[in-house]
Structure 1
Amino acid sequence: MYALVDCNSFFASCEQVFRPDLRGKPVIVLSNNDGCIVARSKEAKQLGIPDLQPYFKIADQLQKAKVHVFSSNYELYGDLSSRVMETLKTFSPNIEIYSIDESFLDLSGHPISTLPGIGHNIRLTVHQHVGLPVGVGMGATKTLAKLASHIAKKSRKCNYVCVLDKPDQWHNVFAKIPVHKIWGIGSRLSRRLSDQKVYSVLDLIQQDPERMRRRYSVNVSRTITELRGTPCYGLDETPETKKQIYSTRSFGVKVSDCLALEQSVSQYAHRACEKLRKEKQLVKTMQVFASSSRFHSHYYSRSVVIPLETPTNDSRVISALARKAIRETVFKPEVPFARAGVGLIEILAESPEQIDAFTARQGEQSKTLMKLLDHINKTKGHVFLANQGIDPFWKMQRNLKSPAYTTKWKELPRVKC
């Protein structure tokens, strides 16, 4: 049996962990530059607040309804996600981290009768250790576990824990669940399936897998097989290495200065290289790009692809090349740039490495320096390239951001006795 553990309204719930006064109250979280609503607490959803709605359009409405609004606090969300995953590993060493707020667990060896108790114990333990509410769905396949997680959230009888140990006994429930709620189906494919009068989970289960494979794809055939209780997918305990890495942001204010644009791509290059080193990879070809807003009367966008003489993951090298590309190719005077970014588009494994005889010593020094840089940033503080700018005016707006409760000493929550 597999379990799918899913944090409820993850971003909004993270904001409530260190603010007990907000529990049970409507909370929403905004996207980059406080643009759109990307997360809503259960209470906010009950008020009918739509998802992905531009914040400025309903700001007055939210204020009247006394909705608590926060900018995205990615540092907090990432840290709490790590704590949740570490807690889940105490229930099973075999775990697949599916997303920032979801994980599959392998519960093989546990009697079926004990699974509901295990599910409720997972919920209790995660709440005690991290303070976040989770739902738990269990099934003989990953697709059934995903479906059980959906039922666990929607059904009051389940109390956030659902075990689909005998799928053929759940047909009455499956008939009420739209087919697009199935993991891997989605809205676009569900519209195509409607041509075959497949509207619900039950409708899909009753289809012939081989005929659906010929008409649609092998993935649809496997989904039907999994919904019937036969596994087609195992746990992916080793995440696949990234084939490309992009670091890009919209600016808090428009940028028309070349130096400021250079600072932005230097910062994005540094972030991309941190991810690259974490993956133990090198980049051979990179891309630098910048554009104005699409709503600007004279829309401008430019990008340049840069092949590297020697594959590297040195932030200094990538930053220098990115700044040069901005200065010599991308920048255009009087254009109000709204966005910029750096992409590492041809990535190689760090080992084995083709060494340049003329720069071998320099390469070893680079590795040592980058390793030290990452160690400092992970354990002691924040070191960055000076050409990123000390306090850039163009940085992303997060005017409603909560404190970094778990990642900055100065912002630790204070308890008054």
Structure 2
Amino acid sequence: MPSDQVFALIDCNSFYASCERVFRPDLAKTPIVVLSNNDGCVIARSYDAKPYVKMGEPYFQAKEKLRRHGIVAFSSNYALYGDMSERVMSLIEAMVPASEVYSIDECFADLTGVTGDLTQLGRDIRAKVLRCTGIPVGVGIARTKTLSKLANHTAKRLQQVTGGVVDITRPFERDWVLRNTEVKEVWGIGRRMTVHLESMGIKTAMDLAKADPRMLRDKFSVVVEKTARELAGTPCLELDEPDPPKQEICCSRMFGKRLTELTPIKQAVATYAGRAAEKLRAQGSVCKRIRVSIRTGMFNPNELHHAKGALVELPYPTNDTLLLTRAATEAVERIFEAGYRYSKAEVLLLDLRQPGEFTDDLFAASQPAASDRLMSILDQINGRYGRGTVRAGSVPRTPEWGMRREMMSQSFTTRIDQLWKVSSR
């Protein structure tokens, strides 16, 4: 790897909360939290909400505190967040030589060989993303991926001074950041590791950068060794190659309420099978087996506990939503038992292959060409007009068992009936 390697980490600020603010400018100065599935607990906080609410705090416990401090809560709107993420990442990709999406709200960029002022490039990226999407981002630039993470953390921590962009490719700036950052803030150093390192006198990122890499490897792992080397300026991590196709695909959800009847559970399983089939086609695979399971809540001592699953062998390798849905719902009929209050279902696609990799005999059945054409059209329509526009007949649009999301914002960018309305007044 060349010694002049340069990485940038572009990270969206309080991403879920920022997405909500894009279409609610009246909340620009209002603290915001976003809740997990079924409005369970806090999973995202705007910067001004962090002093009052802990990450992971149950909503029912925090509700009064939120009201007292004027904090607005939103149910998670994954359709909105996913679409806004794609917009942000496509803008960044067009401005850098190469990029790697690391998570829904951050990506690495390879700036090796880019001439000119890198800080200004970071400002240009930041300005364009904000102008085109309304999402604020921080940019950290450094010689390694781990250092770029640290630079990004500094850019956000000292935003009033840095303007949201920090370049530590030069030793003086790099060393300042290392000396002034606690070791717990280093990428990949968790809470337990922090305790071990601090007991050894390694309290800052600079301490870790100066530690003996071989000692760290012997005492901890090669991952910690690479982290220390990266902090010292030696690149050990490159931009990742595209992930290989998954060997299993799972879709599971908690129901919005306990279900005691077969019909709504079959509807839920049909929905999950359809979503799993979409993922299967997206990676160009087919599957030969499917496992369906349902269970009750396992932590309430006042409820009967029950969990059961069934494995289904499909007639041929397939990615056909209709066939997978039929197989999954028939499996539910076999494993459902009356008298229980079910809380969750799971659909797991197994024995995945690329088309043509299965070696059945010459006369074995295969997926009809008509099914391939139908699934292609289905994906095109749903890709253009939103997931669920065309779906299996057994899947309702607004199911009673759906996730409880009582404070969800509109899907401003993915549903035509929920577009942002602008008044002429």
Alignment of 1:236 onto 2:240: yes
Alignment of 1:218 onto 2:225: no
Unaligned runs of 5+ in 2: 1-5
1:300 alignment partner, one of 300, 306, 315: 306
Matches within 5 A, 1:174-253: 174-253=178-257
Q: Which amino acid aligns with 2:293?
A: F
Matches within 5 A, 1:258-297: 258-297=262-301
Cα RMSD of the aligned pairs, angstroms, is 2.0
Q: Which residue of structure 2 lines up, in the alignment, with residue 57 of structure 1?
A: 61
Mapped contact 1:12–1:28 kept (Cα < 8 A): yes
- Cα distance per residue 1:304-324 (max 9 Å; x no partner): 333445322111222122212
1:317 alignment partner, one of 314, 317, 323: 323
Q: Which residue of structure 1 lines up, in the alignment, with residue 125 of structure 2?
A: 122
Mapped contact 2:151–2:177 kept (Cα < 8 A): no
Alignment of 1:257 onto 2:239: no
Whole-Å separation in 1 of the counterparts to 2:294 and 2:203: 43
Q: Which residue of structure 1 lines up, in the alignment, with residue 412 of structure 2?
A: 405
Q: Which residue of structure 1 lines up, in the alignment, with residue 3 of structure 2?
A: none
Whole-Å separation in 2 of the counterparts to 1:138 and 1:61: 38
Q: Which residue of structure 1 lines up, in the alignment, with residue 378 of structure 2?
A: 373
TM value normalised by structure 2: 0.92
Mapped contact 1:29–1:69 kept (Cα < 8 A): yes
Question: Counterpart of 2:279 in 1: which secondary structure?
Answer: helix
Q: Which residue of structure 2 lines up, in the alignment, with residue 25 of structure 1?
A: 30
Segments of 4+ in structure 1 off by > 6 A? Answer: none
Alignment of 1:339 onto 2:344: yes
Mapped contact 1:92–1:107 kept (Cα < 8 A): yes
Whole-Å separation in 2 of the counterparts to 1:258 and 1:339: 13
TM-fit CA distance, 1:302: 2.1
Whole-Å separation in 2 of the counterparts to 1:401 and 1:281: 33
TM-fit CA distance, 1:236: 1.8
Question: Counterpart of 1:13 in 2: which secondary structure?
Answer: helix
Whole-Å separation in 1 of the counterparts to 2:210 and 2:86: 40
TM-fit CA distance, 1:166: 2.9
Mapped contact 1:95–1:237 kept (Cα < 8 A): no
Alignment of 1:42 onto 2:47: yes
- Cα distance per residue 1:256-288 (max 9 Å; x no partner): 001111111111010011011001112233321
Question: Counterpart of 1:116 in 2: which secondary structure?
Answer: helix
Question: Counterpart of 2:377 in 1: which secondary structure?
Answer: helix
TM-fit CA distance, 1:332: 1.8
Matches within 5 A, 1:2-17: 2-17=7-22
Mapped contact 2:385–2:414 kept (Cα < 8 A): no
1:147 alignment partner, one of 141, 147, 150: 150
Matched pairs, number: 414
TM value normalised by structure 1: 0.93
Q: 1:132 to 1:392 in 2, by over 3 A?
A: same
Whole-Å separation in 2 of the counterparts to 1:167 and 1:246: 46
Q: 1:193 to 1:308 in 2, by over 3 A?
A: farther
- Cα distance per residue 1:172-204 (max 9 Å; x no partner): 542442323222222233334344333321221
Question: Counterpart of 1:394 in 2: which secondary structure?
Answer: coil
Whole-Å separation in 2 of the counterparts to 1:84 and 1:49: 27
Q: 1:170 to 1:108 in 2, by over 3 A?
A: closer
TM-fit CA distance, 1:339: 1.0
Deviates more, 1:197-206 or 1:71-80: 197-206
TM-fit CA distance, 1:161: 0.9
Q: 1:334 to 1:203 in 2, by over 3 A?
A: same
- Give the % identical residues: 38
Deviates more, 1:296-305 or 1:393-402: 296-305
Deviates more, 1:137-146 or 1:225-234: 225-234
Q: Which residue of structure 2 lines up, in the alignment, with residue 131 of structure 1?
A: 134
Mapped contact 1:88–1:122 kept (Cα < 8 A): yes
Q: Which amino acid aligns with 1:38?
A: I
TM-fit CA distance, 1:255: 0.3
Q: 1:68 to 1:187 in 2, by over 3 A?
A: same
